[in-house]
């Protein structure tokens, strides 16, 4: 179960102390749900695409397996996808951009749309671009260690670790 509180637009959210005025490049929102407590782990499945070949979906044995899955991405364009199922309510996708540099998106599927966050380093990542037709901003290019840290935290339901930011894009509104 995800526990969250509703933050009105213009209020400050404590987890990371982000002021929410508008979302998605200026689209106004009446409210934004912010996870304030750990949601706990859920069963996750993973699939990689390495050298253009998909591995097929496999049950994640535990967050410690994420280390080897990320390190298996060797060529630019290789990807790792993680998601829960029945129904899918959240997913993560990372792609190797160049040796040791990755792009990461986390998403939550809600009744009013899919909330997609591009993850990056520091507060600047909150204001970085997140649109389907654009690449990552430099602040959204992450190291192997950073990808493993964020994915491991996300996999056990702990959300975004301290020191990271996220730019939101909402699909399907």
Whether the per-residue pLDDT at 15 is higher than 80: the answer is no
Structure tokens at 86: 């029945």
Q: Which two tokens stand for residue 18?
A: 């982000």
Q: Is the pLDDT of residue 11 over 50?
A: no
Instruction: State the Cα–Cα distance between residues 145 and 125, nearest whole angstrom.
Output: 17
* In the predicted structure, residue 142 carries a pLDDT above the cut 70: yes
Which residue ranges make up each domain of the chain? 38-171
Q: Looking at residues 149-169, what average pLDDT do you find?
A: 95
Residue 25 has pLDDT above 60, yes or no: no
Query: For the chain, what percent of residues have pLDDT higher than 90?
Result: 67
pLDDT for the residue numbered 126: 95
Q: Is the pLDDT of residue 41 over 70?
A: no
Residue 74: closest CA among 55, 102, 93: 102
Q: Would you state the pLDDT for residue 172?
A: 87
Q: Are 144 and 70 in contact (CB under 8 A)?
A: yes
Number of H helices, E strands in the chain: 2, 12
Confidence at residue 162, expressed as pLDDT on a 0 to 100 scale? 95
pLDDT digits (tens, 9 = 90+) for 68-124: 999 999 999 999 999 998 899 999 999 999 999 999 999 999 888 999 999 999 999
For residue 114, the tally of other CB atoms under 10 A from its CB is: 16
């Amino acid at each position: 179960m995800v526990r969250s509180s509703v933050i009105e637009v213009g209020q400050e959210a404590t987890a990371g102390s982000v002021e929410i005025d508008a979302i998605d490049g200026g689209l106004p929102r009446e409210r934004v749900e912010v996870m304030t407590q750990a949601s706990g782990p859920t069963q996750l499945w993973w699939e990689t695409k390495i050298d253009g070949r998909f591995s097929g979906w496999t049950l994640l044995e535990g967050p410690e397996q994420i280390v080897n899955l990320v390190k298996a991405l060797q060529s630019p364009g290789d990807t790792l996808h993680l998601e829960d199922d029945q129904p899918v309510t959240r997913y993560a996708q990372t792609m190797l951009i160049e040796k040791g540099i990755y792009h990461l998106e986390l998403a939550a599927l809600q009744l009013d749309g899919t909330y997609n966050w591009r993850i990056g380093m520091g507060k600047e990542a909150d204001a970085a671009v997140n649109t389907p037709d654009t690449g990552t901003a430099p602040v959204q290019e992450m190291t192997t260690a950073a990808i493993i840290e964020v994915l491991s935290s996300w996999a056990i339901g702990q959300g975004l670790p301290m020191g990271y930011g996220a730019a939101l894009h909402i699909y399907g509104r």
